[in-house]
Amino acid sequence: MLDINTLLKSVPRITPKYIRVLEKLGLFTIKDLLLYLPFRYDDFSKTVPLSKDFVGQAITVEGKIIKAKNNRLFRRKMTITEIVLEDQNGNLLKAVWFNQPYILENFPVGSTARFSGKLGMNGPASTRGDARSSTRGGKYFSMSNPAFEKSTRDATNTGRLVPIYSETSGITSKWIRWQIKTLLPLAKIIPDILSAEIRKKYNLSDIYTALSQIHFPDDMEKLIRAQKRMAFQEMFLVQIRTLEIRKSWEEKDSNKIKFDEKLIKKFVNNLPFKLTNAQRKASFEILKDLEKPRPMNRLLNGDVGSGKTIVAAISALQTVSAGYQIAIMAPTEVLARQHFLSFSEIFKNYDFNIALLTSSYKLTSYHPELVSGSKKKMLKQVQHDKREDLLDKIKTGKINLVIGTHALIQKDVKFKNLALVIIDEQHRFGVAQRATLQSETMNIDDGNKKAIPHLLTMTATPIPRTLAIAYFGSLDLSILDEMPKNRKPIITKIITPTKRNGIYNFIRSEIEKGRQVFVILPLVEESLSESMIDVKAVKEEHERLSRVIFPEFKLGLLHGKLKAKEKEEIMSKFSNKEIDILVSTSVVEVGIDIPNATVMIIENAERFGLTQLHQFRGRVGRGKEQSYCFIFSESREQKSLFPARLKIMEKTNDGFEISEHDLKLRGPGQFFGNLQSGLPDIAMKNLGNVKLIKFARTEAKDLLENDPKLKEHPELQDDLQKFSEKIHLE
């Protein structure tokens, strides 16, 4: 008897070949497979008689097979399968497939079938004239490579909204569809983790209905309802997990670090600038947190350039002066190195030992009196340690401040008395990743077992306040919503293709004045990491600009496929003005600080969200000179749409205003990526309202109040377990 927890390998139809692929996808049980959701749908729901009206549209045609044959083109080593179908009105459709001769066996002449695909007229040019003779009047309808099904079968691959699953090699959507179709009745016995009460309250479908409709939707409306239910469920799990971790966090002790007003005042008074009110307020909130016996868990949210580093430095100063260690983590090695230089500079008059520990660098700014002057000189002066030596210095407390990448808290690093962890993230962490960070922070190897470190995360994505409150409700928030006064707003212009050359001339004159330029290209495919296609695109643009447009200048090329050392080299060349124009993909470090770079060009800007554009723009405008951001778009189809959306970039430099706008346009998913949910894009889009997140949190809170250990909800425990594993995998 099959059960939802039956292993897929015990399902008779599923052979070992498939098991391997399924397991790679993390699918082990029948329930796992049923919860493997489509990421999009082909809409073949329109079943219609053949008509010119539908040419160019995706439709389903049903009829009788009147002709079927395989044509072998020996010279081209190709088989073309050709089937002619006659619909109820006697109109003919010729369907062709390439190199799938077995299709023929399914459709003997005289049988009936459904074909789904884009309807064409006259047939593809590559087919032979003999097809024409089989159709009346020379004109016929055609489909190339349509989805197909015998009429006697339930509509699964044709004649409906057809689910498309993300495929890996060895497994097709069609295969997954059939498996799920046969196993779907078992979804009836999946225990529903959303109680009848909750479902009623928020008008959500039960799990069986939701799964049936998400895999094989009757119509769009039912699909959206199913997605809403699944999105709620996922958010419910996220919130339970977050609250659990929050609770275990709050039950822990921390080191109480006394606020030394004199020390901080002196430091602040010696800064070359006056703190903004927002910086003051945030610093105060953090210093107050550090005094508490419970570990801090605070998110410092401030736009690029809002001055988060100095706020972090104030908390570091307090912590180190009290005799504790602190760890600062950046998303990449390049940024870690930059932090190392900044903090060494900021604390050059203090007797702190600062270390940079990443896989490429093991540096200590061991003798602070040496570490002054230009950053370049500084790096030469610092001591290069062996990894073991540095680890030892960290363990014995000789090092006060350790800077590294995220790996710092995951690996073999042992501390003596780590009291504060600061995470500077350029990447967007979702709620679940945040929870993971917290649990990692709790588990850092530290000589003082009784206390766990305070945690400060800094994010440069201005997250709309409403969203942050709903989403990160279990964190405390400090917001830097005020820019340092000395900033000149960046002048931003949307550039249509005809104005391109004028801008290139302007850039020429800027470079002649000694300025530098960033050129950013978007990823070709929307994905989290760069593909080779992206690298090719950026190389080509680099080539074009070097040869055709700016042969007189020095250009550099930066992309994610370069080694850390290579990136580093290019960045330092750029920062030493050995490169005038840096052409880069969008995945490289946003936080990089090159004050002399005053021009930013963003290509194919229509591919980016506003928040992202704003982040790129933040790489310029860091120095004294006037900075510019030119937003290029090639998009013809979107010509009318595109500038409207982007106009706000010209109007304001306020990241929070832009992100509020973006939230309305594109929903909250973009602020976190969809990593945290494991949900398909389409469901993430349905998360589009902050309300849903809020409701899920309310219910999660309620549940945990009544049943803190989830003793009465074993099914939830299972799902949470799975969920945490999945998140860890990512």
Residues that bind ligand ADP in the complex, under the rule CB under 6 A: 273-276, 279, 302, 304-310, 460, 484, 486
What is the smallest separation between the CB atom of 668 and ligand ADP, expressed in angstroms? 22
Q: Which is nearer to ligand ADP, 9 or 577 (CB)?
A: 577
What is the smallest separation between the CB atom of 307 and ligand ADP, expressed in angstroms? 3
What is the smallest separation between the CB atom of 456 and ligand ADP, expressed in angstroms? 13
Residues 6 or more apart in contact with residue 514 via CB below 8 angstroms: 577, 596
In the shown chain, the binding pattern of residues 537 to 576 toward Mg ion, with x for contact by CB under 5 A and - for none, equals ----------------------------------------
Q: Which is nearer to Mg ion, 123 or 591 (CB)?
A: 591
| Partner touching 102 among ligand ADP, Mg ion, none, CB below 5 to 8 Å by kind | none
Q: What pairing do the DSSP bridges indicate for beta strands 40-43 and 161-164?
A: antiparallel
| Partner touching 310 among Mg ion, ligand ADP, none, CB below 5 to 8 Å by kind | ligand ADP
Q: Which is nearer to ligand ADP, 35 or 326 (CB)?
A: 326
What is the smallest separation between the CB atom of 305 and ligand ADP, expressed in angstroms? 5
| Partner touching 331 among Mg ion, ligand ADP, none, CB below 5 to 8 Å by kind | none
Q: Which is nearer to Mg ion, 107 or 429 (CB)?
A: 429
Taking the C-alpha atoms of residue 548 and residue 555, their distance in angstroms, rounded to an integer, is: 12
Kindly report the backbone phi and psi dihedral angles of residue 507, in degrees, each rounded to the nearest multiple of 5, phi listed first: -60, -40
| Partner touching 8 among ligand ADP, Mg ion, none, CB below 5 to 8 Å by kind | none
The three-point CA angle 526-531-536 to 5° equals 110
What is the smallest separation between the CB atom of 281 and ligand ADP, expressed in angstroms? 12
Burial grade of 299 (CB within 10 A; 0-12, 13-18, 19 or more): buried
| Partner touching 305 among ligand ADP, Mg ion, none, CB below 5 to 8 Å by kind | ligand ADP
What is the smallest separation between the CB atom of 596 and Mg ion, expressed in angstroms? 18
Q: Which is nearer to Mg ion, 295 or 591 (CB)?
A: 591
What is the smallest separation between the CB atom of 590 and ligand ADP, expressed in angstroms? 9
Q: Which is nearer to ligand ADP, 276 or 325 (CB)?
A: 276
Q: Which is nearer to ligand ADP, 63 or 307 (CB)?
A: 307
Taking the C-alpha atoms of residue 224 and residue 190, their distance in angstroms, rounded to an integer, is: 21
Kindly report the backbone phi and psi dihedral angles of residue 238, in degrees, each rounded to the nearest multiple of 5, phi listed first: -55, -45
Taking the C-alpha atoms of residue 688 and residue 218, their distance in angstroms, rounded to an integer, is: 23
What is the smallest separation between the CB atom of 9 and ligand ADP, expressed in angstroms? 51
Helix, strand, or coil (residue 145): coil
Q: Which of residues 582-641 bind Mg ion (CB under 5 A)?
A: 591
**Is 81 in contact with 65 (CB distance < 8 Å)?**
no
Q: Which is nearer to ligand ADP, 307 or 678 (CB)?
A: 307
Structure tokens at 451: 């206390």
Taking the C-alpha atoms of residue 669 and residue 649, their distance in angstroms, rounded to an integer, is: 21
Structure tokens at 256: 């109480």
| Partner touching 435 among ligand ADP, Mg ion, none, CB below 5 to 8 Å by kind | none
Structure tokens at 663: 């939230």
Largest CA distance in the chain: 95
Q: What is the DSSP letter of 417?
A: S
| Partner touching 484 among ligand ADP, Mg ion, none, CB below 5 to 8 Å by kind | ligand ADP
What is the smallest separation between the CB atom of 421 and Mg ion, expressed in angstroms? 16
**Is 396 in contact with 690 (CB distance < 8 Å)?**
no
What is the smallest separation between the CB atom of 354 and ligand ADP, expressed in angstroms? 17
Q: Alpha helix locations (H) across 618-668?
A: 641-651, 655-666
What is the smallest separation between the CB atom of 316 and ligand ADP, expressed in angstroms? 13
Residue length of the chain: 730
Residue nearest to Mg ion (CB): 591
Q: How many helices (H) and strands (E) does the chain have?
A: 26, 26
Q: Which is nearer to ligand ADP, 171 or 314 (CB)?
A: 314
Nearest to 593 by CA among 572, 609, 569, 564: 572
**Is 61 in contact with 47 (CB distance < 8 Å)?**
yes
Taking the C-alpha atoms of residue 131 and residue 141, their distance in angstroms, rounded to an integer, is: 11
Would you say the C-alpha torsion 712, 716, 721, 724 has a positive or negative sign? negative
By CB under 5 A, the count of residues binding Mg ion is: 1
Structure tokens at 223: 């699909």
Q: Which is nearer to ligand ADP, 462 or 560 (CB)?
A: 462
| Partner touching 486 among ligand ADP, Mg ion, none, CB below 5 to 8 Å by kind | ligand ADP
Q: Which is nearer to ligand ADP, 150 or 488 (CB)?
A: 488
Kindly report the backbone phi and psi dihedral angles of residue 78, in degrees, each rounded to the nearest multiple of 5, phi listed first: -140, 145
What is the smallest separation between the CB atom of 296 and ligand ADP, expressed in angstroms? 19
| Partner touching 276 among Mg ion, ligand ADP, none, CB below 5 to 8 Å by kind | ligand ADP
| Partner touching 275 among ligand ADP, Mg ion, none, CB below 5 to 8 Å by kind | ligand ADP
Q: Which is nearer to ligand ADP, 345 or 718 (CB)?
A: 345
Burial grade of 708 (CB within 10 A; 0-12, 13-18, 19 or more): exposed
**Is 50 in contact with 141 (CB distance < 8 Å)?**
yes
Residue ranges binding Mg ion (CB under 5 A): 591
